[in-house]
Amino acid sequence: MIGEPILVMLVEDNKDHAELVIRTMEEHTIGNKIIHFLDGQSALDYLIRRDGFENPETSPRPHVILLDLRLPKVDGLEVLHIIKETEDLKSIPIIILTTSDAEKDVVRAYNHHVNSYLVKPVGFEEFRKLMDDLGFYWLRWNTHLGK
């Protein structure tokens, strides 16, 4: 993995939040590649390799998934559940990145084996700091499985 670009899947329907995540990730010096999906269904299509994503060469497995909870078409908790129940996908680390700090959402996410649950701060600078910390931990310090 050293020197290899880390593929990050971002599943986020809020374009402003997605842009901030993408910009922050691109600022890190580790050459990440980010694929962005606006809804849960298209993310699942990519991961399950269907509906135009059948080729593993053009649809490689992400090293980490940043997943919002409130998504159109398929809810983030359902996406999480499907990924963690699918043998080929369950080892991919998933980080919930959402505005919900509701205890029921946190409990449900961890019951579905999420790796981390982060609540998006309201302020721009706080959000940027969170993304910087997230980038360093998950993309620089944490050890990933190669796929």
pLDDT tens figures, 68-120: 999 999 999 999 999 999 999 999 999 998 888 899 999 999 999 999 898 88
Cα angle for residues 131, 73, 59 (degrees, 5° grid): 65
pLDDT (tens digit, 9 = 90+) per residue, 47-77?
999 999 999 999 999 988 999 999 999 999 9
Assign domain 7-141 to its CATH architecture: 3-Layer(aba) Sandwich (3.40)
Centre a 10 Å sphere on the Cβ of residue 10 and count the other Cβ atoms it contains: 22
Least confident of 21-25, 127-131, 141-145: 141-145
The H or E element containing residue 20 is: helix 15-27
Report the distance separating Cα 85 and Cα 77, nearest Å: 12
